[in-house]
Amino acid sequence: MSKRTRRTSSCSSELDTEPISNFKPTEPPKLNADISVPKFKTWTASWEDYAKLWNVDAMKLDRQKSLLRSLLSLEIFKVLEKVIRVTDKDCSADIP
């Protein structure tokens, strides 16, 4: 009989802080106005993962806004303009 050796991997806390070379996270799909609540929750989780992997919190605010706007369909942006008065100029919100 041959002896089998069991392989174990050692995990280090450094692994989650080191960048993965040649890895680009897939961006979430465009958010459409006709999205259902369950699909919106899935989209939100996808956005949060994407934002974390790209370290969006460390970006300047105008870049964060541009990135988020790039994931909104024209329909949903118009809804946001009307409902919470988001402006295209600065993507600020004035919630009534």
Instruction: Give the count of domains, the chain.
Output: 1
Print pLDDT tens along the chain (96 aa).
555 544 444 444 445 555 566 677 888 899 998 999 999 999 999 999 999 988 899 999 889 888 888 899 999 888 877 887 766 565 554 444
d(CA 39, CA 21): 31
- Domain-embedded: residue 20: no
- Domain-embedded: residue 15: no
Its domain, for residue 68, covers 29-96
- Domain-embedded: residue 13: no
- Domain-embedded: residue 23: no
- Domain-embedded: residue 33: yes
Q: How does DSSP assign the chain, residue by residue?
A: -PPP--------GGGGTSPPTT--PPPPPPBPTT--HHHHHHHHHHHHHHHHHTTGGGS-HHHHHHHHHHTB-HHHHHHHHHHH---TTT------
